[in-house]
Chains A and B, each alone.
Chain A
Amino acid sequence: MNPTEVAHVAKRDSFPMRGRFYRVIRDLHLYVGLLISPFVLVFAVSVFFLVHAWVPKIGAESSTTRVVAGVPLPADLENLSGRPLIDGLKAALKAANVPGEVGFVRRMIKEERLIVPVTVPGRETTVSINISNREATVVTRETGLADALITLHKAPGPHGGDIRMNWFYMKAWRWLADATVYLVLFISVSGVYLWYVLRAERKVGFVLLLAGAVLFFGMTYALQH
C-alpha cells in the first residue's frame, strides 16, 4: 500500500463499525468470488464457442446404436403433447436406460414413430420409438466437454419454457445459473465499494468506469439506430 492508502486504512480503522463493514464486504467479495469462479469460467469460455459457432473437439467423439424391445408407452399417447407427453414417455426412456433432459418430441405420423431427443451435457441421445411394435432405437453420441459447456451456457434458454427443466439436474443447473447471476451482481457492486474506499485509485477508476460506460452506450446506441 502506498502512504495515502496506509493513511486511509488507519483512518478507517479509527471508525470500528466502518472498518468491520469494510472487512466483511472484502471477505464476502473474496469468498463469493472464489465460490462462483468455476461457474464464471464455464460461462466465459463457452462465449467463444457460441460467438464464433466453433466447437473444439475436446476428447473423442463417439456414437453407439442399440435397440430396446418392449418399451412401455402410455395408453393415451396420441392425445398427449408438450410436457404431458414428455412425462408420459419417462417410463419408456427409463426402460431404454436413457436419462437426461428431453427436448422437443417429433411425431412421424406415417411411420408411426416418435423421435425423442435427450440431452445430458456432453452427450446427445436420439430415441426413435416405433409405436406399433414398441421398439426403441437408441443412438447415443458423446459430444465432449466443449459441447457440454455450450449446453450448460444455453440451458434452460428462452424457448420451450413449458417443456424445459424436465430432468432434475437441469432444474438444479438453472438454480445454480441464477445464483451465479445474483452473486456476480453482488461481487460487482461490492467490488465498486472496495475500489471506492481506495482514494488513491478513485481518479483512474472513474476514468475507466466512464470509458466503459461511453463504449457500452455508444455501441448499443449504434446497434439500435
Chain B
Amino acid sequence: MALERWNRKLHFYSGLFLFLFLWLFAASGLLLNHPSWNFDEYWKNRRETNYEREISNPGPEVKGDLAQAHEIMRQTGIGGEILWTTTRTDTNVFDFQVRRPGHYFFIKADFARRVVSVRQADVNVWGVMKVLHTFSGVQLDDPRNRRDWALTSLWAYSMDGVAIGLIFMVLSSFYMWYQLPQKRVFGLIVIGVGSLACGVFCVGLRWFF
C-alpha cells in the first residue's frame, strides 16, 4: 500500500516539478518539426551588431585552438559554447563561433593587429526555445565538438533529468493503471495500439521494406 501511495505521489510530484521543462521541450519540438511555420522565424529577425576589441595576444603557455579561443573569450567577456574552430591557414588569423541560447558570436581574431572582430547576432524568444531544445554541446556527426562551457554541461544533464523523469512517469503510470482491475482490459488495448503504432516505426519499417 505504501508503494502504491508513494508511486502515485511521486508521479504527480515529478510531473509538477518538470512541468515547465516538459512544456519547453514539447513546444520547441513542435516548432522544430515545422520549419515552414513563419510566426516563429528567428534568424531573419535577428539583431546584429559588429564591434572590435583590442586584445593581448595569447602567450606561448596557451596551447591549441580551444585554449586560445577561451583566452580570447575571457579578454572580450564573451561566454558560451565554442561550436568549432576552422582549419587555420594563417597563424595570425583565428576564426571561431560561440553560441549560447539567444546569442551567436562569430569571432575573428587578428593576432598581427591584436584586434578581435565580433559579429554578434541576437535572436528572439523562438530562437532561444529552439536552441534550448538542442543545446547539448556535442553532435553525433562531428566528434570534434566537445562540451567546453559549464552551463552547457548543466543544461545537458538537466535534459537527462527530464528524460529520466519522463521515463519514471511512464513506468509509474503503468503501475497505477495495473492497480485498477476494472481498467486493465481497455488500458491493455490502448497500450497495445500505441505500442503497435510506435513499433512499426522503430523496428517494423525495416522488416516491411
Which residues of A are in contact with B by a Cβ distance under 8 Å? Answer: 27, 30-31, 33-45, 47-53, 55, 99-100, 120-123, 142, 145, 148-150, 152, 156-159, 161, 169, 173-174, 176-178, 181, 184-185, 188, 191-192, 194-195, 201, 204-205, 208-209, 211-213, 215-217, 219-220, 222-224
Contact = CB atoms under 8 A, between A and B. Distances in A.
Contact of B159 (A42, A51, A142): A51
Interface in B25-50: 26-27, 29-30, 32-33, 35-36
B90 to A, nearest CB: 29
A37 B202 contact: no
B16 A195 contact: yes
Given A37-B174, A37-B191, A44-B170, 18 more contacts: A33-B173, A34-B191, A35-B191, A35-B193, A35-B194, A47-B159, A47-B160, A51-B156, A123-B206, A169-B201, A188-B19, A209-B16, A209-B17, A212-B20, A212-B21, A216-B24, A220-B101, A223-B132
A219 B163 contact: no
Contacts of A209: 16-17, 19
A96 to B, nearest CB: 13
Interface string B163-181: 1101100100110110000
Interface residues of chain B: helix, strand, loop or mixed (majority) = helix
24 contacts: A30-B176, A30-B187, A34-B194, A37-B173, A38-B195, A43-B29, A52-B138, A53-B140, A120-B205, A122-B202, A142-B206, A145-B203, A150-B140, A161-B35, A169-B201, A174-B33, A176-B198, A185-B27, A188-B22, A188-B23, A212-B20, A219-B158, A223-B101, A223-B135
B13 interface: yes
Name the 6 nearest CB pairs between A and B, nearest first.
Answer: A161-B35, A38-B198, A47-B163, A53-B138, A212-B17, A216-B20
Interface in B68-110: 100-103
Contacts of A158: 32, 35, 130
A50 B151 CA distance: 17
Contacts, number: 191
Given A35-B191, A212-B18, A169 B173 contact: no
Given A157-B32, A212-B18, A224-B128, A51 B160 contact: yes
Contacts of A205: 12-13, 16
B138 A34 contact: no
A31 B174 CA distance: 11
A43 B166 CA distance: 9
A159 B139 CA distance: 15
A133 B30 CA distance: 44
